[in-house]
Amino acid sequence: MSEFAGKHGLIVGVANKRSIAWAIARAVAAKGARLAVTYQGERLEDSVRELSADLADPLVLPLDVTSDEQIAEVAARCDQTFGGLDFVVHGAAFAPREELARPFLETSRDGFRVALDISAYSLVALARATAPLMEKNGGGSLLTLTYLGSERVFPNYNVMGVAKAALESSVRYLAAELGPRAIRVNAISAGPIKTLAASGISGFSSILQVYRDKAPLRRNTETGEVADAAAFLLGPAGRGVTGEILIVDGGYSIVGL
């Protein structure tokens, strides 16, 4: 029997077929999971619904992660439809393009607020709304996505790096609080991948080339590799892991020069 047979999950952050969140959705669905998938705004609805048509009886819902009301509505629909949740994937991240283009010193107060709200606080809000659903099922797993820019300075990553640092700290605090409820909280720090979010980072192709030149595996990270790591953390094989940042980047993070 597949490891996710009879399991139900919520996937937040799918934008298109290149999204890491979508790769994770496909990986766990192939192992038997039934999913709820959310989309951000009407612009992405058609794309997400088209993708989700390949899943087994999916629940496709709108979600603006800055709205506690919408988060509560999504949790309620998952509860009504599935009777609980076994795992949640948080793939939401955003910073205004102009905040990534200008020096970090020039980050606006509003741009900082938006980046931290969508990219970091939304994990806390999502955890608060879905923890009762996972607890109903005897526990669960919450997974988010981060990047090495949380620890090191990357060109044109700026306020997003600060947001990812806040996200990783949130993972640890949530893991400590939710552990007694049998809910694990982890993150995957993936190497750079050509996603919709990455398109807003100037010079992204140069970053990809540096990874190809310097990473021990001498290649860029593939979404399928991240998805397989996610399946490990979300499923029974990762049952003893919580509060961790699992790096999937071909070894780039270990290299000094």
pLDDT in tens, the chain (257 residues): 489 999 999 999 998 888 999 999 999 999 999 999 999 988 889 899 999 998 999 999 999 999 999 999 999 999 999 999 999 999 999 999 999 999 999 999 999 999 999 999 999 999 999 999 999 999 999 999 999 999 999 989 999 999 999 999 999 999 999 999 999 999 999 988 876 566 556 667 788 888 999 999 999 999 999 999 999 999 999 999 999 999 999 999 999 98
| pLDDT at res. 201 | 66
Domain count within the chain: 1
Active site residues: 147, 157
In a domain, 255, yes or no: no
In a domain, 196, yes or no: no
Distance between CA atoms of 101 and 247, rounded to whole angstroms?
Answer: 26
In a domain, 149, yes or no: yes
Phi first, then psi: what are they for 130, rounded to 5°? -100, -15
| pLDDT at res. 106 | 97
In a domain, 204, yes or no: no
0.85 cut: is pTM over it? Answer: yes
Distance between CA atoms of 157 and 200, rounded to whole angstroms?
Answer: 9
In a domain, 252, yes or no: no
* Whole-number CA gyration radius for the chain: 17
| pLDDT at res. 118 | 98
| pLDDT at res. 43 | 82
In a domain, 202, yes or no: no
CB within 8 Å of 136: residues ≥ 6 apart: 79, 83, 84
Distance between CA atoms of 13 and 53, rounded to whole angstroms?
Answer: 17
In a domain, 257, yes or no: no
- CATH code at 239? 3.40.50.720
Number of Cβ within 10 Å of residue 54's Cβ equals 10
| pLDDT at res. 20 | 94
In a domain, 33, yes or no: yes
> The domain containing residue 83 runs over which residues?
8-191+222-246
Q: Which two tokens stand for residue 101?
A: 């283009």
